[in-house]
Chain A
Amino acid sequence: MTEGTTNTTDENLFQLTNVNKRFTKGRESITIFDDLNMSIKKGEFLAIMGPSGSGKTTLLNMLGGVDQPTNGEVWFDGARIDKLSENGLAKWRAANIGFIFQFYNLMPMLSAARNVELPLLLTNLGKKRRKQSIDAALELVGLKDRAGHKPKEMSGGQQQRVAVARAIVSDPKMLLCDEPTGDLDRATADEILTMLQELNREYGKTIVMVTHDPEAAKYATKTVHLDKGEFVEKGSV
């Protein structure tokens, strides 16, 4: 994390500049971030820790383009994304970001392979290329033999692996994970984290992961602590 820079450099994939985020409900308005600056380097595996309500999910939402700052700028790979239209952001997300959620969020009526195929519906790949991508993604998460299974026929760890396959199938530069192991036991969590680490190391994916678990943070190349909307100094790994 570097502070105070206003331009993205070649190395920075993400750059948040003077970001303000307020939620307004009626007359009440709460400020989550006030003048936040941060950058994320290409190839980084960043863990974000912090107490509940500190704004971790809100930050991740702004990085992922599902939420926009009230003020300030969000730059990605040299382009500003916070001023994109709703459809523009949807297109941008499909092309650049893979999402991994705490509760997997798979479509219950679709098989593992179909779930993984979902993001490919947003590309113009042909049937054959899609099949190749799905197979490769399922292979990578070690679930090729489960392609035909529905989510409810799989364990939590397996479902999260399907979710990882879905996140990487269209080969995005960036993975955003909100407590990806929050619902898993230690051993299963370690499997998923090892997988993320491999994606980071061998496939060069830039990863931002929100977690409560210090053990999980150890898999990251860097950890930051968020408290009341601000980064606080704590020994980083």
Chain B
Amino acid sequence: MGDLYLIFKNITRKKLRLTLTLFATFIAFMIYGVMTSFQSALDAGVELSADDRLVVVNKINFTQPLPIAYVNRIKPIEGVAGTSHLSWFGGYYQEPQNFMPMFAVEQDTLLEVYNEIVIPEEQKQAWLQNRQGLLVGEKAAQNFGWKVGDRVPVSSNIYSRKSGGQTWDFDIEAIYKGSDPKFDTSGVYFHFKYFDEARTFGQNTIGFIAVRTTDSKLNEQVIAAIDDQFANSPFETETVPEKAFNKAFIEQIGNIGLIITFVVLAAFFIILVIVGNSMALAIRERTNEIAVMKTLGFKSGRIFIMVLGESLLISFMGGGLGLLIASGLTAGISENIPQLPPLIIDQPIVLESIGFMLLLGLVTGIIPAISALRLNIVTALSR
């Protein structure tokens, strides 16, 4: 028998109370896990943005087109390492709810500008060579049950074909992974040439231009050079770092971060009260026993640590379980709601949670532990 055994025996003596306390802690950490993974998934789009990538959009609104001729006028600007252009296709598979982030792209330059996209070499060559080839993210492929070699019809809610109909046929030539597990692989890309020749309107216009700079220190200078060049033209541009662009995009969904913080804080406050109260109660009930332990010769410091150990153990048991279930839940959510970015309980979330468990254990245990530390044998035993 060691102190840990005593701690364990002490917390398990009231089974119902322990169950309720653990349950409260469990729920709080489960909410915390799911919410923060959601937040971190949203943030990932911003965090994973390359510092040396800029986005050139129409100044009026990023849904307005730009002339394709701009690409060649941007390329020679000093500090520009590469460009590629992308156009939103509004693609969906079979049913409109199966929408996907699908872009018509300049296929030769896409992978230079977006080096997070990782494709096996032979698939890459096959995709580059087939005008109707489709480059599909791992998650999108998994989602629609696609594999290399499939021929799939994809509809657009924007573009019709000159030959009639809104359904476009593609050959799946390549499936890409992200260089980082958080990189969203729900995107789908196809050749701009195929798109531009077949669509009924909008020829020679594009959605936006992605620009890679030779050094992120030159961003400001390149931004100024691009926007100055097209100032006072019918298509004025607004160039922003990709990070800022993605951030603005996420903020359109509303300030989710604030809501998440609020929910998490509320959950923590509630368990703080519940666990704190049940700890205080437990120790008060054991005043006599603690006095006896001290009489036997247990030092106050050791008893202090044992009481704190109880609240820490409860916090880590409930919290650990909550986080475990949260990771199962997030995996389930990601699988069933493919429109969401990938939710992952990753190492930073785990470490942060451990920090919170520690904090919760200390905060709920400190007052009972101090009263146990200060407990006077004579007065406690003469009650």
A-to-B contact residues, CB < 8 Å? 57, 61, 64, 66-67, 86-87, 90-95, 99, 101, 105, 107-110, 114, 117-119, 121-122, 166
Contacts and interface: CB of A to CB of B under 8 A. Distances in A.
A87 B295 contact: no
B294 interface: yes
Contacts of B300: 86-87, 90
Contact of B378 (A67, A93, A108, A114): A67
Contacts of A117: 1
B377 A87 contact: no
Interface residues of B, number: 25
Given A66-B378, A105-B288, A94 B297 contact: yes
A122 B297 contact: yes
B297 A101 contact: no
Contacts, number: 64
A115 B35 CA distance: 46
Interface in B280-329: 288-289, 292-301
Nearest to A120: B1
A101 B1 contact: no
Contacts of A118: 293, 296
Considering the complex of A and B, which 6 residue pairs feature the smallest CB-CB distances, nearest first? A94-B297, A109-B13, A66-B377, A93-B297, A109-B9, A105-B292
B10 A109 contact: yes
A90 B9 contact: no
Contacts of A110: 6, 9
A109 B293 CA distance: 14
A99 B296 contact: yes
Nearest to A94: B297
A66 B293 CA distance: 12
A94 B293 CA distance: 10
A101 B2 contact: no
Contacts of A122: 296-298
A59 B382 CA distance: 13
Given A57-B382, A61-B378, A110-B9, A91 B297 contact: yes
A114 B1 contact: yes
